[in-house]
Structure 1
Amino acid sequence: MNNPSPSLIRDSNETLVDQIVRMIENKIDDKLLRTGARMPSIRSYADAQEVSRFTVVEAYDRLVARGYLESRRGSGFFVRERAPLTTTPQAPTNPQQLDVVWLVRNMFRQMPPHKMPGSGVLPHDWLEGELVANGLRAVSRLNQNLLLHYGTPQGFYPLRQQLQLRLAELEIAATPEQLVTTSGVTQALDLVAREFTHPGDTILVDDPAWFLMFGSFAVLGVKVIGIPRQQDGPDIAALCEMAALHKPKLYITNSVLHNPTSTSMSAAKAFQVLKAAEQHDFIVVEDDIYSDLHPGNSVQPATRVASLDQLNRVIYLGGFSKLLAANLRVGFIATSHELARRLSDRKMLSTLTTTEIGERVVYKILSEGHYRKYIERVRSKLDPVRLSTAKRLENIGIKVDIFTPAGMFLWVDAGCDTNALAETALEQGILLSPGSMFSPNQQPSSRMRINVAAMTDPLVWQFLKDEINQRSTN
């Protein structure tokens, strides 16, 4: 390759490095630079383009990372042979069967948030990205050495101190030594399940319940049995019957703002759950991931089983990815001192540590009081949307028989097979969450979960109106 003549634009919005990378990529893509061609030395390219050698070094390094160049020690940089990009053709087979993996996979498709009423997170325009951005900027200004090493297996200590204060507000006493940070509640559940169960053991869950558990527990060879969820908590008679019959190791529940119904457990039911756990010797795992959306006042009381038990037979889980940012995978486990140590060791053996950068960001948001005010704004915004969405759903023939005054979900009855409804919706770029996904037996259901914050697109409403009307007349 001959030394290029100066051709960079100095007052461009594009950096000099980006311009050099783009120029060389274009020449390689257009076959003006052939495989094996030697690139100009860093010095000669810098002189020809009248830029610093550091600029050329960074550009060459980026081209190596992108697969355009290769670096040969002592010889320089050479154009690399690039394999053509190929895609696997999609076979025109029968439609994919709806199951937990189907729903999770489609939740990660690049779909507009307002066409995803089946999602479990707030749309982007409901979130305050500046909170996270400010936290990241603050962390980036720290001594770099603090960001380069592993975190501690049990988690960033100041964050655990902050979580201790938050739990105290819920009347749950836990020292930092009783807390273990995790990569979201998903990892927390996995750690607890692996600690307590072996293939063939039984775990009890609410029915309906969070669908991701079913797939992850199946991988462990664990049997999952659903306990009917009532408006004030689990069916206690069914819980005791299944516990006596199957001798479960764990019972996993949402006491507050249950997913998918947004109902909360009464104090009486919470006491009965704890009594059943003691009688049948199982551990209660309390997943409280959505509870920050609950106002927790006298009009809408909320009882945590952990507040009654104080982490003796109850393991309490929480996290921030649902309400701060889905990509901010910071969760935690609160439990006894001994179990916290064991779970920390198990976490260390599986993933070493969680990412301390994210934990520092969450710590900053919590410790400066921003999170509390942000959640209050989200709750006040959800209240009118929840009510108006419920009324509109009723008007188009979708029954809202359980209306709760808090939370982002409505558990509704569409009056038809919601598996079929979800398949038709996906063909039009709309993601729904059919009720079958939320039951361990995954039988067809007329129920589905609606995220009220994601119900602003007129096309979604028109689709539901047309389909419900058509299916009701057939």
Structure 2
Amino acid sequence: MEGEQAVAQLPKDSGSGAQGMPAARPRLVVPRVDRLPDPVPSAQMTLVEQLTEWARMRIDERVFRAGMRMPSIRQLAQDKGISRFTVVEAYERLVALGYLESRRGSGFYVREPAAPQVPAAAVPARARHIDVTWLLRSMFHTVESHKAPGLGFLPNDWLDGELIASALRALGRQPGSHFLASGSPQGFLPLRQQLRTRLAELEIGAAPEQIVLTSGITQALDLIARLYLQPDDAVLVGDPAWFVMFGRFAAQGAQVIGVPYTPEGPDLQALERIVQAHRPRLFVINSVVHNPTGTSLSPATAFQLLRLAEQYDFLIVEDDIYCDLLPPGQSATRLASLDQLRRVIYLGSFSKTLAPNLRVGFIAAHPELVAALTDSKLLAGLTSPEINERALYKVLTEGHYRKHVERVRTRLDRARDDTRRTLENLGLKLFPGQQAGMYLWADTGRDTNAIATAGHEEGFLFAPGSLFSPSQLPSGWMRFNVASSADPGMLRFLARQLER
């Protein structure tokens, strides 16, 4: 089958690659190496060098994680079709490079990476337990999108690059002097005025002075964390939720605490118990098309959530990055529309619908808070790139964006139905209430860390459930991007994993 053929076998050899090489040098074909950074062409490397590079990259990618026992010498030699001497020498080189440690009578183990030389008090112990880099690193390699159900964005062929290209061409016809200044600290004013109109359509009142532009949602959360969080402060997130913010808040020294999620939103009884025990500063939530469950807040849950925020004096950060993926006919309750930016900080972006590379997001909030966030933005990185902001303004005002989004939503609806049927036929149980957006959240009944690790070796990118929980405990849940979950080889691989 395709998934089985993808992992090339190594040619047999009769000894260590470090000794004299025959006239026709044997070549170690490293599985899927074209998707990983390979600084030296494989044809110019000895077998030992290639095997060393293969293992090193998988350690860097955290396929082989700290403390894990490496495959035995006999097993790896048999699997790759090479001699034990080659494996021994490669392992010894990895020990010398600091990647492995040898334990007499037990084998070779992945060594814990050396900690940076900073005072212990500067990096709280809990920060080291939030590990989100595995999926992030994998997402930024050139894995084929149709083999990556764990992707956090739409494949390129789902997007419309001509929208951005047309906007850039229009900018190119403007005087070059427009692009020389450093830009406004709050961001390009015409774009902020356009965003005011868009927010008004969502029944959120925000003047341009209440909006600050950022380099995506990630920078927006970073600015908020810098302003509001001190070491040991509690910040609440959904469990599950978007994993990148876990690491960011933990790096700030905060306690990242998960709130169980239901099809209507956070479990309010659990939320109140957690709030009473920890007195959080912030609660971060996707109210519409939640990542990863694809659900949206019910009106009753939204009202009760605002009541608890008022009663226990915490702010709500409403991340609405999937705003445009909600079909017009589906009702949605946004906290910012109920609260009108008194206790809610509203975040938006266009990364999911236009291009991940168009790093333009925004924060809408109370005027005093926007002033403080703008100061924080100046200290963190001065202004955001105005060329990107001007390009986005062109896209939003030339009249084609809405039709593009409609096409994407229609295509997602078809793909979601197909993916749902496929996953259910494989025996997965889907989280209820998933009616829109890019993702399906499914219970596999297996440890999805193991599935993701095995899939990485076969050239597939999965998003295991442990990444979406601040506890990072093993989980049977997995997030599927419906735009990239139809590859037959990937589905055969998943079926084999589920049968084990």
- Using structure 1 for the length normalisation, give the TM-score: 0.79
Match in the other structure for 2:81: none
Contact 1:289/1:319 (8 A) holds in 2 = yes
Give the one of 65, 69, 72 matched to 1:96.
65
Residue correspondence of structure 1 range 49-198 to structure 2 within 5 A: 89=53, 91=56, 95-96=64-65, 99-198=131-230
Match in the other structure for 1:60: none
Between the aligned partners of 2:433 and 2:299, the Cα distance in structure 1 is 20
Between the aligned partners of 1:143 and 1:351, the Cα distance in structure 2 is 26
Match in the other structure for 1:7: none
Between the aligned partners of 1:106 and 1:354, the Cα distance in structure 2 is 27
Secondary structure in structure 2 of the residue aligned to 1:315: strand
Shift of 1:193: 1.1
Contact 2:216/2:351 (8 A) holds in 1 = yes
Between the aligned partners of 2:139 and 2:450, the Cα distance in structure 1 is 17
Secondary structure in structure 2 of the residue aligned to 1:285: strand
Contact 1:287/1:317 (8 A) holds in 2 = yes
Match in the other structure for 1:424: 454
Give the one of 241, 254, 263 matched to 2:286.
254
Between the aligned partners of 1:184 and 1:375, the Cα distance in structure 2 is 19
Secondary structure in structure 2 of the residue aligned to 1:270: helix
Shift of 1:321: 1.1
Give the one of 197, 204, 210 matched to 2:236.
204
Between the aligned partners of 1:118 and 1:381, the Cα distance in structure 2 is 18
Between the aligned partners of 1:272 and 1:137, the Cα distance in structure 2 is 48
Secondary structure in structure 1 of the residue aligned to 2:261: strand
1:131-179 superposed Cα distances (whole Å, 9 cap, x missing partner): 1111111112111011121110100000000100000010000000000
Deviates more, 1:449-458 or 1:167-176: 449-458
Between the aligned partners of 2:185 and 2:138, the Cα distance in structure 1 is 33
Contact 1:402/1:410 (8 A) holds in 2 = no
Match in the other structure for 2:118: none
Match in the other structure for 1:379: 409
Shift of 1:404: 1.8
Contact 2:293/2:431 (8 A) holds in 1 = no
**Letter of the 2:406 counterpart:** E
Contact 2:318/2:346 (8 A) holds in 1 = yes
Q: Percent identity?
A: 56
1:394-450 superposed Cα distances (whole Å, 9 cap, x missing partner): 112222242522111000011100000000000011000000000000000000000
Aligned residues: 383
Give the one of 434, 437, 462 matched to 1:407.
437
Between the aligned partners of 2:353 and 2:271, the Cα distance in structure 1 is 31
1:72-112 superposed Cα distances (whole Å, 9 cap, x missing partner): xxxxxxxxxxxxxx999554868126941111111111111
Shift of 1:462: 1.4
Give the one of 283, 287, 298 matched to 2:319.
287
**Letter of the 2:152 counterpart:** G
Q: Does 1:456 align with 2:456?
A: no
Shift of 1:182: 0.3
Contact 1:400/1:411 (8 A) holds in 2 = yes
Shift of 1:385: 1.0
Give the one of 247, 259, 266 matched to 1:227.
259
Between the aligned partners of 1:194 and 1:434, the Cα distance in structure 2 is 29
Contact 2:309/2:315 (8 A) holds in 1 = yes
1:8-52 superposed Cα distances (whole Å, 9 cap, x missing partner): xxxxxxxxxxxxxxxxxxxxxxxxxxxxxxxxxxxxxxxxxxxxx
Shift of 1:456: 2.9
Q: Which of the two has higher C-alpha Rg?
A: 1
Shift of 1:459: 1.2
Contact 1:277/1:284 (8 A) holds in 2 = yes
Secondary structure in structure 2 of the residue aligned to 1:369: coil
**Letter of the 1:363 counterpart:** Y
Match in the other structure for 1:437: 467
Match in the other structure for 2:420: 390
Secondary structure in structure 2 of the residue aligned to 1:349: helix
Give the one of 309, 329, 337 matched to 1:277.
309
Shift of 1:315: 0.1
Secondary structure in structure 2 of the residue aligned to 1:312: coil
Contact 2:342/2:365 (8 A) holds in 1 = yes
Between the aligned partners of 2:290 and 2:179, the Cα distance in structure 1 is 36
Shift of 1:296: 3.5
Secondary structure in structure 2 of the residue aligned to 1:205: strand
Residue correspondence of structure 1 range 309-388 to structure 2 within 5 A: 309-388=339-418
Contact 1:181/1:331 (8 A) holds in 2 = yes
Between the aligned partners of 2:229 and 2:429, the Cα distance in structure 1 is 39
Between the aligned partners of 1:209 and 1:127, the Cα distance in structure 2 is 25
Match in the other structure for 2:26: none
Secondary structure in structure 2 of the residue aligned to 1:225: strand
Contact 1:122/1:453 (8 A) holds in 2 = yes
Give the one of 281, 286, 295 matched to 1:263.
295
Contact 2:131/2:247 (8 A) holds in 1 = no
**Letter of the 1:330 counterpart:** V
**Letter of the 1:315 counterpart:** I
Secondary structure in structure 1 of the residue aligned to 2:496: helix
Match in the other structure for 2:18: none
Secondary structure in structure 2 of the residue aligned to 1:194: helix
Secondary structure in structure 2 of the residue aligned to 1:279: helix
Secondary structure in structure 1 of the residue aligned to 2:167: helix
Secondary structure in structure 1 of the residue aligned to 2:430: coil
Residue correspondence of structure 1 range 287-306 to structure 2 within 5 A: 287-297=319-329, 300-306=330-336
Contact 2:146/2:485 (8 A) holds in 1 = yes
1:174-209 superposed Cα distances (whole Å, 9 cap, x missing partner): 000000000000000110111111111110011100
**Letter of the 1:139 counterpart:** L
Contact 1:403/1:410 (8 A) holds in 2 = no
Contact 1:402/1:412 (8 A) holds in 2 = no
Between the aligned partners of 1:130 and 1:459, the Cα distance in structure 2 is 31
**Letter of the 1:362 counterpart:** L
Between the aligned partners of 2:384 and 2:412, the Cα distance in structure 1 is 32
Contact 2:419/2:486 (8 A) holds in 1 = no
Secondary structure in structure 2 of the residue aligned to 1:397: coil
